[in-house]
Structure 1
């Protein structure tokens, strides 16, 4: 973890190349020389900051996740009201999921402690959006904000085969509307 933090502040950015392409072609068995060439840096510079290709790709992924969380926070902050904030955050999240690295990403990228922290931040962000929208009377309260957050994130992540993401997010947000009631709840 210290190497990833060190790499995150490194003056080089081997991760600024199209590392999606690099990571999908190199995976965990790639060569540092290939990554160095793709990044436009020397192998010596790459060796200075990363123990192996896996560490370089993990650092890139961590940076990507941080950028995505910052984008989601900005989408919430720029919204004029809580319902728009919720819609904006879910739309952007869905887009990031659909246009991200996809299923071809190495599994190790999603199992680090840093990703657990990032996921917690994501849950907190969406839960805050839902709670604010509920306080404004726009979101149903017959389910907890935690349950609605889990529902929204699972639904918004989808399977990447949504024809019109905005209409899909509209469907998700409409299902949260305060006028709706749980069909199976009494």
Structure 2
């Protein structure tokens, strides 16, 4: 009976189970990294400098933190989300803090610079420009229950800026940027941020 069976049905080596070509493509091997394709995530810290009339009423207390996600759309374009949290100190009321929490939908463009630095360096150093529209909430004394009313401060806000990214080995990168943000409903509230981020994920393909 066994002599009549096709030879391809025998499993000659039990350490290497036989699979057909389609299964081999669908099932990831143990040494393959399972990632979100064309998507990266970022963690950052930033220093915020208040501008216009905002600096007359508040002082930035130090550093803020950010978390972001980006997905490559097409060509030089990427889209994603950005969340930021920082603290402001009220100049008129010592000890009183106001914490802006911003959530932005952002678009980023990465112009190619291979013709300036060469193909190899063009894969490592990447400048970018970015802009986004979002929603900012303001919390008193870091309390989630003490959010300011919509009429107190500008809620809809925009952000825009430039920066560059340095790709590191093992699917990591560093990003540094300078951005401005301002309220749309109340444009007096504005600031400039200087940010440093670590990026991880499918860095080589975005």
For the aligned pair, the TM-score class normalised by the smaller chain equals under 0.3
TM-score (norm 2): 0.21
TM-score (norm 1): 0.22
Which one has the largest radius of gyration?
Answer: 2
Structure with greater helix share of residues: 1
